């Protein structure tokens, strides 16, 4: 296998993950607003809501409108999550709760970096291989990468909300490749989703690797 010019990596589930579970993080914040919740029930409700949502991409949006659209997209998922968990009516001010929740995920607090991440990124960087993040995340990814000490490794960050398309759409991969002036057959992509990362990258002509963290 030829040495790649650039290696792209997914973010959540590949470079770093959620501490405990999404449900546990949600539950910690709900307590601040006087709402008692079961973490496992919230976790299940979140993933049901997340999977049912449309891709987080806004094809016709101008750059200045993207942060507000990201916020609204996640707020709709949060509302549906607490509706599924029969907890929505317990909030006296759900908007205030969500504002705190949304800001929390822009910090290092709810995340942890996988033990192999720093070593592996350093190894590739020392070999002169360019590195990029390629993620269906929102613009909070920039402060999160910095807070987790990961930003320094990457010369590009490509997110779905800025591209206007989400993995496995080939436009995500083409946008990232263009930032490095790199042909698809000279790039690798690594991620934890078989459909979005492995199949998406393969269809776009990159060498793909499926990283099964949950196993």
Residue 215 has pLDDT above 70, yes or no: no
Residue 106 has pLDDT above 70, yes or no: yes
Q: What are phi and psi of 43, to 5 degrees?
A: -60, -45
Mean pLDDT along residues 91-112: 98
pLDDT at residue 86, rounded to an integer: 96
For the chain, what's the residue count? 215
Residue 93 CB contacts under 8 Å (≥ 6 apart), including other chains: 33
pLDDT in tens, 155-203: 999 999 999 999 999 999 999 999 999 999 999 999 999 999 999 999 9
pLDDT at residue 130, rounded to an integer: 98
Tokens of 75: 């707020």
Residue 186 CB contacts under 8 Å (≥ 6 apart), including other chains: 2, 4, 5, 6
17: which strand partners?
A: 112
pLDDT in tens, 6-22: 999 999 999 999 999 99
Mean pLDDT along residues 16-43: 95
Grade residue 115 by pLDDT with cuts at 50, 70 and 90.
Answer: very high
Residue 207 has pLDDT above 90, yes or no: yes
Tell me if 158 sits within 8 A of 34, measured CB to CB.
no
Q: How far apart are CA 29 and CA 11, in angstroms?
A: 23
Q: Print the SS3 string covering 138-167.
A: CCCHHHHHHHCCCHHHCCEEEEHHHHCCCC
Tell me if 29 sits within 8 A of 104, measured CB to CB.
yes
6-17+110-210 and 20-104 in the same fold: no
**pTM given for the model:** 0.93
Residue 124 CB contacts under 8 Å (≥ 6 apart), including other chains: 7, 131
Q: How far apart are CA 35 and CA 5, in angstroms?
A: 50
Distances in Å between the Cα of 7 and the Cα atoms of 43, 160, 171, 209 are 32, 18, 17, 11
At the fourth CATH level, the homologous superfamily of domain 20-104 is Haloacid dehalogenase-like hydrolase (1.10.150.720)
Place of tokens 């909030």: 91
What's the CATH class of domain 6-17+110-210?
Answer: alpha beta
Q: How far apart are CA 109 and CA 57, in angstroms?
A: 26
pLDDT at residue 213, rounded to an integer: 86
Residue 23 has pLDDT above 90, yes or no: yes
The domain ranges of the chain are: 6-17+110-210, 20-104
Compute and round to an integer the Cα radius of gyration of the chain: 18
Q: How far apart are CA 149 and CA 42, in angstroms?
A: 29
Other CB atoms closer than 10 Å to residue 173's CB: what's the count?
27
Give the mean pLDDT of the chain.
Answer: 96
pLDDT at residue 1, rounded to an integer: 65
């Amino acid at each position: 296998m030829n040495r790649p010019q650039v290696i792209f990596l997914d973010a959540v589930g590949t470079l770093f993950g959620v501490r405990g579970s999404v449900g546990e993080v949600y539950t910690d914040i709900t307590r601040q607003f006087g709402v008692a919740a079961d973490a496992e029930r919230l976790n299940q409700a979140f993933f049901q809501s997340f999977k049912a949502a449309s891709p987080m991409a806004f094809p016709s949006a101008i750059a200045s409108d993207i942060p507000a659209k990201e916020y609204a997209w996640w707020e709709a998922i949060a509302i549906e999550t607490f509706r599924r968990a029969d907890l929505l009516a317990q909030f006296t001010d759900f908007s205030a709760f969500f504002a705190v929740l949304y800001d929390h995920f822009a910090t290092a607090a709810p995340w942890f970096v996988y033990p192999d991440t720093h070593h592996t990124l350093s190894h590739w960087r020392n070999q002169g291989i360019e590195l990029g993040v390629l993620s269906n995340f929102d613009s909070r990814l920039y402060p999160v990468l910095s807070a987790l000490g990961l930003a320094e490794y990457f010369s590009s960050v490509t997110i779905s909300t800025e591209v206007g398309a989400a993995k496995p759409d080939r436009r995500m991969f083409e946008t990232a490749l263009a930032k490095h002036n790199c042909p698809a057959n000279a790039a690798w992509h690594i991620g934890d989703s078989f459909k979005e990362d492995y199949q998406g990258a393969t269809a776009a002509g990159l060498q793909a690797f499926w990283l099964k963290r949950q196993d």
